[in-house]
Structure 1
Amino acid sequence: MISARSHVEEIAHVALGKGSLRDAPVVQSWLRCLNDYRLDPAQAQEAYIVPSTQLKEHREQSDELIRIGRSAVEGLFRHVMDQHYVLLLSDARGVTVDFMGDPTFDNQLRRAGLYLGSEWSENRAGTCAVGACIVSGDPVIIHQDDHFDSSHIGLTCTAAPIFDTLGDLTAVLDISQLRSPTVKASQHLALHLVTTTARRIELANLMARTRHDWILRISRSPDFLDVDPEAAIAIDANGRISGLTHGGFRALARMFEPQPGAARGVIGTPISQLFDIDVDDLPRFTRSRADRERVIRTRSGVMLFAGAIAPVTRTRGLPAADRIPRPLRELSFGDAAMEAVQLRASKLAPRDVPILIQGETGAGKEFLARAIHDIRPNPGRFVAVNCAAIPEALIESELFGYASGAFTGAAPRGKIGLIEAADGGTLFLDEIGDMPIGLQARLLRVLSEGEITPVGAHRPKPVSFRLISASHHRLDQLVADGRFRRDLFFRLNAATLMLPALRERQDLDGLVDHLLARIGADEGRTIRLSHTARMALRRHPWPGNLRELANTLRVAAALADGSEITPDDLPETLRNPAEPATAVASASDDLAAELAACGGNVSELARRLGVDRSTIHRRLRRLKRS
């Protein structure tokens, strides 16, 4: 880092047209500061924080983007906070509308302008990452004395632009340090992280603002298609493009119109004019098909991989997603099917109607039941009964209780049953399909009469409760098989909520990050997931659903040596997924072909597939033995 005097002299040399070893974006910004903004490098300016009333206006205008990008921004900050970075989300005018940093350094950060409300527009602050990014529209590193103003030459700042669905720059994401290593190349990883996060925010923004349109994610490789695509396009019901991520604009601009900004004209263009598909073909590209089978071609013949996400079904009268009560909101992180369940549950929760929750074991039926219970202003007790776990000989006395002296060994004062314990609250009957058919008649009477008679008692007791039941069995099928009473089924089935299996959901990454945050909070530490470990989680079919996922992450966190979970901390079944015997021959050919495409370089193949080199060697040995 040079002195303030030599810094001014260098800028003066650049103003005279003399050569410079600085990166081109830095030189271009210096010239703008001198020629367009008439800034004087010899006059150091203090960082500017906008007044609180003005900041409020900026934040209100950016509120939707802040909310949409919150998960991605928090994930980025968890990755860089240990290196003493601060994170700034600025609007298109350079005002910081969201901020994350170590509160220990609040005073220093505020003086440096790395704070909420700071303005980093280029015409006010001179050359800086946020300002240069706003002008150029490209990611940039402004390192130490790259800054125009000498008061900022101790900082290193890395920023990436965020574009809206119509191709206009709407925000800038920046991570900065008060002090840093002297080599600018040390910030290349920071540039990768901030650029990747900006791309994820653009995708989340596109999905949020075009909820009722198809989303087509596009990549040149199938490996990261469903989690980190290079581009995404929104397509309306008429098959016309309604929005894109910036990667989509750039890709279409390269394919069709080389002029800057011309890609904006593709809004409203039929997708069939650009690719060899129509809107009716989109269901073929959902996750129900293997990644490598989802191939599309541009009209010029370029082959790409595509993944489609179906639109959220419009339902009249349902509340907006951002008005879903908090207990329900935490059950989904962007999955369309789960959001439909949330919307339906939010309507049913205030009503006194029985609810039946259907879904596979471990899919989160009890979590959903508790969320519905918690929404009520005075919910009372939540009493959960697993009908499959109570021995048949005891289930009647457990549910209905018993009177004093009802049977040998009974408690002298009798016992309150679980149904009576739920009086004034919610009774959750889990795995109701496993209840003995003889006991179903007694439960039906309770629901019909609103009273219970404990075992050995002679007088009934009035009870009033909210009933939620759940089963992994299809109750209508049990009724058809004669294993469940039809009249009880209709009592329980006033409203049904169908939970999707985890393998069918689109929000695995969000769920993983949410669970890791909860585990970290419980253990008082930050827990991260390595890229290869995350890829292993994505490949797993999750037969145990959310319960299996939560247990896997908690055990992995306990086994991890530091703050990062690696593949070695995961169960063997996730590190080495079983391969069907019928697929061994084709798998051998595929792996050999992919290895050949990498020039025989195992390390390169491992990077492409998102696995460790040891995994590639292990697969090759196993296929040779087959």
Structure 2
Amino acid sequence: MHVAPAALAAPTSRAAPLALADPLHSRTIQQSHERCAALGLGRMVSPDHSPGPQVELQLARERNLRLHLHALPVMELLLEQTMASQSMVLLTDACGTVLHSVGHDSFLQRASRVALAPGANWAESNKGTNAIGTALVEEAPTLVHADEHYMHANGFLTCSAAPIFDPRGNLLGVLDVSGEKHSYHLHTMGLVKMSARMIENHWLADDFRHALRLHFHSRPEFIGTLMEGIVAVDRDGRLIGANRSALDQLRLSSAALRMKSLPMLLNLTVGAVVDHFRSPMAPPMTMLLPDGQRLAMRAVFNWPTWHRLGSLSMDAEPAGQVVDAGAMEAGTADRGGLFAAGLRSTGTTGAEPGGAPTLSGLRYLQTGDAQMEAVITKVRRVIDRDIAILVLGETGTGKELLARAIHHDSQRARQPFVAVNCASIPESLIEAELFGYEDGAFTGARRKGAPGKILQANGGTLFLDEIGDMPLALQARLLRVLQERQVTPLGSARAIPVDVAVVAATHRHLREMIEAHSFREDLYYRLNGLVVRLPALRERSDLMQIVRKILRAEVGHRVLEPDADVTALLQAYHWPGNIRQLSNVLRTAAVMAGGENAITREHLSDDFLEDAECSLQRAASRAAPPATTGTDEAAAPLQPTAQAPAPADHGGTLEELELLSIRRAVDEAGGNISVASRRLGISRNTIYRKLRWNAPAKA
């Protein structure tokens, strides 16, 4: 979700509480006071400011962990926008219990005297008229300023609160900014309402990331901002969720919306929407409401899941799996590799956003290779059976992509998918990253602490990539979490229950590491409920199917294929970087090809071309008949000396035979690299690189 910087700019000047003159506001305060009087609350009494039992706060936080995770970054942002005031930001549950607070140190001490702290309950029945409690009753944004508080002890405060709803209209909690009454700003309520909508939109994107999502507004330039309406649609065309902006624009309640379908409301079918947005350059659609109002609309959907609902030919797939109204949803390619050029992320789904691709499940990985079919068949049998999965394979074979596909096809698909690369996080930080930490757990930590990756994945899937690189000391703690199903953040004495499905992956030989005492055997057996090995690209039979899929992802409907010469190079190459390397090579070639329909040698990078030509030479030499004797000896040096070594005379791998051929050619050329390169049919740079990489280490 994009927010214009100006939209959240903090006001620079103070203003009188003009909102207090609004008749609707006055009526809200009056009705709240009447409710408080009916409850027998006294205005002059000192309210109970003692927080509730710690165990109740812990239970409330556990029940609302997902709300906390979505709200925390928004609260930090909101606090930054109110730096000019002495204030704090609070998050409460639907009962009015404060779950979390962030604020200015100079205000926190005085706020503690009226229990503006986690554990306190600010329901109207407990604290009288106040922004949090009254917003819960009214289910609407509420400002309570100074003496408008029912209890005089709270009269020094000015509070602006907005309720938070899920996409089905259920009340989740309240977001509030409270501060000294003299710090009142006219725009604070606007900031709070916008922040609440950010949380709601994150929740909606998380709940319905696999649904068809319609983003719309009467002004097209507002699509992609907090002003846009968002409606989620299922495969049958039923409207299953919406944000508040959508409900306002459609003039419907949440319950009324769920009684309607896409054809009933907009006279559109799912197939028509899919067909319109099958092209990445499709313009917005125009929606016509029953009252004649026109809205501009864009659609976001998971292409492989939804494309069959369209009425057009489905032979070609668009550029990427998620189609977003003419532009791919921005994000990074999957680091695991398979069809990486076509995998994108919205960046708006909480734990999975920031970088998680929207995938179509295991079906998308089926491209005709028998080994992959066997892997997918095994994995499908254990999904949702509480069996840990360990994925083995070389770097770049698509281990993370498989993990995401497993999550997509599981019953946890609507919950977070959280990936942790154990090799990329510094050893000093990985413990805090995994388990989280409390306020003050260590120097330099974020104020108020942070939840760890394991808690972020609660209810969903935790992917531990490169598990073989996890420090040995940390392995014991991870094992305890997996066994006890609870996690204790750093600096905390409390254990939090956690429910995650675990998929781990590594390119290392874990059994050898166990023998070397660098990997725990008990953790190994905890992780390997099912072990599957992803084949290297050179071992697969579906290379050209993968090539075509990557190119379709890059160029959409435009025809782009490698010519016969490049096809031979691709098929002969040994692909040490596997599918990730293939994706990078083809992505570059597609850009170099421009508007042409064929990829030629001229479109390939020099480095890859040199290595691929060498591989092609080796393949040709293996296929050639043995050289005859008695030929003109003068011509012999001109023959590629790569044919010289024979497996019968020199055992070893293909790489070793290749190196032997290069060294022999250099020797026969008297050390002249240029002559050797001509005889071998490879570049001088390739010879230098091969000899340098394989030079014996100095003593």
TM-score, L = length of structure 1: 0.50
Matches of residues 420-435 of structure 1 in structure 2 within 5 Å? none
Quick one: distance in 2 between partners of 1:282 and 1:372? Answer: 41
- Give aligned-pair identity as a percent: 23
Specify the code of the residue in structure 1 equivalent to 2:149.
H
Question: Do residues 32 (structure 1) and 35 (structure 2) align?
Answer: yes
Question: Do residues 217 (structure 1) and 215 (structure 2) align?
Answer: yes
Which of 294, 301, 304 does residue 310 from structure 1 map onto? 301
Distance change >3 Å, CA 483–CA 313, structure 1 → 2: closer
Matches of residues 499-578 of structure 1 in structure 2 within 5 Å? none
User: Contact (CA 8 Å) 1:47, 1:113: kept in 2 or not?
Assistant: yes
Distance change >3 Å, CA 84–CA 226, structure 1 → 2: same
Which of 95, 98, 101 does residue 99 from structure 1 map onto? 101
User: Contact (CA 8 Å) 2:305, 2:360: kept in 1 or not?
Assistant: no
Quick one: distance in 1 between partners of 2:250 and 2:119? Answer: 36
Q: 1:588 matched to which residue of 2?
A: none
User: SS of 2:77's equivalent?
Assistant: helix
Question: Do residues 297 (structure 1) and 300 (structure 2) align?
Answer: no
Quick one: distance in 2 between partners of 1:473 and 1:288? Answer: 11
Question: Do residues 481 (structure 1) and 562 (structure 2) align?
Answer: no
Which of 241, 245, 251 does residue 239 from structure 2 map onto? 241
* 1:229 to partner: Cα distance: 3.5
Which of 569, 578, 582 does residue 493 from structure 1 map onto? 578
Specify the code of the residue in structure 2 equivalent to 1:355.
G
Quick one: distance in 2 between partners of 1:264 and 1:380? Answer: 48
Distance change >3 Å, CA 202–CA 122, structure 1 → 2: same
User: SS of 2:469's equivalent?
Assistant: coil
* 1:249 to partner: Cα distance: 3.1
Specify the code of the residue in structure 1 equivalent to 2:260.
T
Question: Do residues 340 (structure 1) and 381 (structure 2) align?
Answer: no
Deviations 1:424-460 (A, max 9, x none): 9xxxxxxxxxxxxxxxxxxxxxx99xxxxxxxxxxxx
Q: 1:591 matched to which residue of 2?
A: none
Quick one: distance in 2 between partners of 1:229 and 1:287? Answer: 25
User: SS of 1:31's equivalent?
Assistant: helix
* 1:299 to partner: Cα distance: 2.9
* 1:303 to partner: Cα distance: 0.3
Q: 1:505 matched to which residue of 2?
A: none
Which of 355, 361, 378 does residue 396 from structure 2 map onto? 355
Deviations 1:118-170 (A, max 9, x none): 21100100010001111111111111111111111001110111112221222
Deviations 1:1-28 (A, max 9, x none): xxxxxxxxxxxxxxxxxxx997222112
Give structure 2 stretches of 5+ with no counterpart.
1-22, 307-334, 337-343, 366-387, 399-417, 425-464, 472-512, 514-536, 539-549, 588-699
Deviations 1:519-575 (A, max 9, x none): xxxxxxxxxxxxxxxxxxxxxxxxxxxxxxxxxxxxxxxxxxxxxxxxxxxxxxxxx
Give structure 1 stretches of 5+ with no counterpart.
1-19, 255-260, 316-326, 358-367, 382-423, 425-446, 449-469, 502-626
User: Contact (CA 8 Å) 1:217, 1:306: kept in 2 or not?
Assistant: yes
Q: 1:559 matched to which residue of 2?
A: none
Quick one: distance in 2 between partners of 1:24 and 1:207? Answer: 36
Quick one: distance in 2 between partners of 1:239 and 1:269? Answer: 9
Question: Do residues 376 (structure 1) and 459 (structure 2) align?
Answer: no
Quick one: distance in 1 between partners of 2:198 and 2:470? Answer: 41
Quick one: distance in 2 between partners of 1:57 and 1:198? Answer: 23
Quick one: distance in 2 between partners of 1:282 and 1:146? Answer: 50
User: Contact (CA 8 Å) 2:422, 2:469: kept in 1 or not?
Assistant: no
* 1:115 to partner: Cα distance: 1.4
User: Contact (CA 8 Å) 1:287, 1:308: kept in 2 or not?
Assistant: no
Matches of residues 436-451 of structure 1 in structure 2 within 5 Å? none
Which of 227, 233, 249 does residue 225 from structure 2 map onto? 227
Quick one: distance in 2 between partners of 1:369 and 1:496? Answer: 21
Question: Do residues 273 (structure 1) and 264 (structure 2) align?
Answer: yes
Quick one: distance in 2 between partners of 1:34 and 1:197? Answer: 32
Specify the code of the residue in structure 2 equivalent to 1:481.
V
Give the aligned length: 367
User: SS of 1:227's equivalent?
Assistant: coil
Specify the code of the residue in structure 2 equivalent to 1:213.
A
User: SS of 1:207's equivalent?
Assistant: helix
Q: 1:412 matched to which residue of 2?
A: none
Question: Do residues 160 (structure 1) and 186 (structure 2) align?
Answer: no
* 1:235 to partner: Cα distance: 0.4
Specify the code of the residue in structure 2 equivalent to 1:273.
M
Specify the code of the residue in structure 1 equivalent to 2:257.
V
Specify the code of the residue in structure 2 equivalent to 1:31.
E
Q: 1:74 matched to which residue of 2?
A: 76
Question: Do residues 201 (structure 1) and 286 (structure 2) align?
Answer: no
Specify the code of the residue in structure 1 equivalent to 2:226.
D
Distance change >3 Å, CA 376–CA 228, structure 1 → 2: same
Specify the code of the residue in structure 1 equivalent to 2:124.
E
Distance change >3 Å, CA 290–CA 336, structure 1 → 2: farther
Deviations 1:208-233 (A, max 9, x none): 11222111122121112122234211
Q: 1:436 matched to which residue of 2?
A: none
User: Contact (CA 8 Å) 2:88, 2:108: kept in 1 or not?
Assistant: no
User: Contact (CA 8 Å) 2:273, 2:299: kept in 1 or not?
Assistant: yes
Quick one: distance in 1 between partners of 2:279 and 2:579? Answer: 32
Quick one: distance in 1 between partners of 2:582 and 2:152? Answer: 61
Q: 2:613 matched to which residue of 1?
A: none
Quick one: distance in 1 between partners of 2:251 and 2:138? Answer: 17
User: Contact (CA 8 Å) 1:287, 1:307: kept in 2 or not?
Assistant: no
Quick one: distance in 1 between partners of 2:423 and 2:582? Answer: 14
* 1:190 to partner: Cα distance: 0.5
Specify the code of the residue in structure 2 equivalent to 1:34.
A
User: SS of 2:44's equivalent?
Assistant: coil
User: SS of 1:309's equivalent?
Assistant: strand
Q: 1:117 matched to which residue of 2?
A: 119
Quick one: distance in 2 between partners of 1:133 and 1:341? Answer: 39
User: Contact (CA 8 Å) 1:215, 1:233: kept in 2 or not?
Assistant: yes
User: SS of 1:71's equivalent?
Assistant: helix
Larger Rg: 2
* 1:307 to partner: Cα distance: 2.1
User: Contact (CA 8 Å) 2:262, 2:270: kept in 1 or not?
Assistant: yes
Q: 2:26 matched to which residue of 1?
A: 23
* 1:476 to partner: Cα distance: 8.3
* 1:496 to partner: Cα distance: 7.7
Quick one: distance in 2 between partners of 1:287 and 1:143? Answer: 52
